[in-house]
């Protein structure tokens, strides 16, 4: 089963912020060896999650993994993302969609903070 990955970020009115997310997603795809990856945004950026899923399905994805590019599980991940995923499921019966947890709780976050603070010292 071919799997497409949609990285789901909030989006920003500042386009350079959206471009920064796109660069991380591109690096994620390269370093992870994933060939079907799309960046998507909740708002203020394109494509949105439904459009990213369409792109992945058009490239042959039979299953979608949505990975939130969010630190914590706030209202967007508890309210908005489940609603959007259910809308996609209703529009594409048979398409398997799973959602990973947000980054909160991942041990790598502490290492990133250590690195950032050490670089400032």
pLDDT (tens digit per residue) in 41-50: 999 999 999 9
Count of the separate structural domains present in the chain? 1
State yes or no: pLDDT of 87 exceeds 90. yes
Give the other-Cβ count within 10 Å of 118's Cβ.
8
pLDDT tens digits, one per residue of 52-70:
999 999 999 999 999 999 9
- pLDDT of 67: 98
> Cα(77)–Cα(92) distance, rounded to whole angstroms?
21
> Cα(36)–Cα(41) distance, rounded to whole angstroms?
17
State yes or no: pLDDT of 1 exceeds 90. no
Instruction: List helix spans (H) across the chain.
Output: 15-32, 49-58, 75, 81-91, 108-120
State yes or no: pLDDT of 105 exceeds 90. no
Tokens found for residue 115:
């690195």
Q: Domain of residue 59: give its range.
A: 3-120
Q: Residue 41: enclosing H or E segment and its boundaries?
A: strand 37-41
φ, ψ at 74 (rounded to 5°): -90, -160
pLDDT tens digits, one per residue of 5-51:
999 999 999 999 999 999 999 999 999 999 999 999 999 999 999 99
> Cα(55)–Cα(47) distance, rounded to whole angstroms?
10
Helix, strand, coil: what percent of the chain each, to 5?
Answer: 50, 20, 35
State yes or no: pLDDT of 76 exceeds 90. yes
- pLDDT of 73: 87
Q: Looking at residue 83, which CATH number applies to its domain?
A: 3.40.50.1400
> Cα(44)–Cα(41) distance, rounded to whole angstroms?
7
């Amino acid at each position: 089963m071919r799997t497409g990955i949609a990285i789901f970020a909030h989006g920003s009115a500042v386009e350079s912020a959206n471009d920064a997310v796109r660069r991380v997603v591109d690096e994620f795809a390269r370093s992870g060896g994933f060939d079907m990856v799309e960046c998507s945004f909740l708002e203020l950026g394109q494509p949105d999650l439904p459009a990213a899923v369409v792109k992945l399905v058009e490239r042959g994805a039979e299953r979608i993994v949505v990975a939130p590019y969010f630190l914590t599980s706030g209202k967007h991940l508890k309210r908005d993302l489940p609603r959007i995923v259910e809308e996609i499921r209703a529009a594409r019966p048979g398409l398997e969609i799973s959602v990973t947890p947000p980054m909160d709780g991942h041990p790598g976050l502490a290492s990133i903070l250590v690195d950032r603070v050490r670089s400032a010292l």
